[in-house]
Amino acid sequence: MQKAGQGIMIIKKSPEIFDVTVRRIKDFGNETRHYELSLEDGKSMDFMPGQFVSIIYPENGKVIRRAYSIASPPEEKKQIDLCLKLVPGGKVTPWFWTFHEGKRIQVHGPFGKFVLPFEVEEQELVFIATGTGIAPFRSMIRDLLHKGFQRNIWLLFGTRYERSIPYDEEWRLLESYYPQFHYIPTVSRPSAGWKGEIGYVQTKISKFFPQPDGKLVYICGLNQMIQAVQEECLKRGFQKEMIHHERFD
């Protein structure tokens, strides 16, 4: 996990183990799913957007833990959303793929320092993600909009196929409601009917963010993508302290 950058305030919450119940499962395609986990009655989790929980997976008398970013906003204290990609041959995500509504598991958290600066009102925010790297940004963006953030918020999301974009309908709906929110999906293997951006996220930096002034960049996904985006941002004049990231590999 990335260490907090300068100017980022971490509010420490003591991690706890919570019993949760799978309330809803949504399949996005491309072996990616959304899970809504409800906490037991009387329990709530205080967390900061961008933090994660550790899933507790019991196996043969041992405990395996895997960290997954919280995809829900912090005002939903009695619910934890996760966005997971199936890892063939893995242990925890194949277990999740056997779940049904009503399944009970345990989570431990919150953890993590991949959070927004405490004072961010004067800056535009640029979120760049691929795959399940979208999860912490869903928490951040929904929290910002809920709190009335007025500066521009950009979400640049890259995927191979447009039919499997996590939360696509939700992003488009938010964009229609909030003029300060800008959703830019880009597809590397589009269908003939796709009318949006084509290519990888790093190729869109110069088009949409040619001027770095007043912007903070947050990147989440696999390391190769993160490095490519960082290089492009630095070419455009972004300073290193303006760029934050979290790797999912």
pLDDT at 1: 30
pLDDT at 12: 57
Among 77, 111, 145, identify where a domain stops: 111
- Let me know whether 137 and 243 are in one domain: yes
pLDDT at 42: 86
* Strand ranges in 70-225 using DSSP code E only, listed in sequence order: 79-85, 104-111, 124-130, 153-159, 181-187, 197-198, 215-221
Residue 70: domain span: 16-111
Q: Is residue 84 domain-resident?
A: yes
Q: Is residue 119 domain-resident?
A: no
Q: Is residue 141 domain-resident?
A: yes
pLDDT tens, residue by residue, 128-178: 999 999 999 999 999 999 999 999 999 999 999 998 899 999 999 999 999
Q: Is residue 73 domain-resident?
A: yes
Q: Is residue 9 domain-resident?
A: no
Helix, strand or coil, per DSSP, at residue 142: helix
Residues 6+ apart with CB under 8 A from 223: 247, 249
- Looking at residue 201, which CATH number applies to its domain? 3.40.50.80
- Looking at residue 40, which CATH number applies to its domain? 2.40.30.10
Q: Is residue 3 domain-resident?
A: no
Tell me which residue has tokens 């009102």. Answer: 121
- Let me know whether 241 and 191 are in one domain: yes
- Let me know whether 42 and 96 are in one domain: yes
**Banded pLDDT at 219 (limits 50, 70, 90):** very high
Among 84, 111, 138, identify where a domain stops: 111
Among 56, 77, 111, identify where a domain stops: 111
Question: Is the pLDDT assigned to residue 6 strictly greater than 80?
Answer: no
- Let me know whether 145 and 85 are in one domain: no
Mean pLDDT taken over the chain: 92
pLDDT at 21: 98
Q: What is the pTM of this model?
A: 0.92
pLDDT at 4: 32
- Let me know whether 231 and 129 are in one domain: yes
Q: Is residue 11 domain-resident?
A: no
pLDDT at 3: 29
Q: How many CB atoms lie within 10 A of CB 93?
A: 18
Total domain count, the chain? 2
pLDDT tens, residue by residue, 32-48: 999 999 999 889 999 99
- Let me know whether 106 and 136 are in one domain: no
Spatial separation of the C-alpha atoms in residues 160 and 150, rounded to whole Å: 31
**Banded pLDDT at 117 (limits 50, 70, 90):** confident
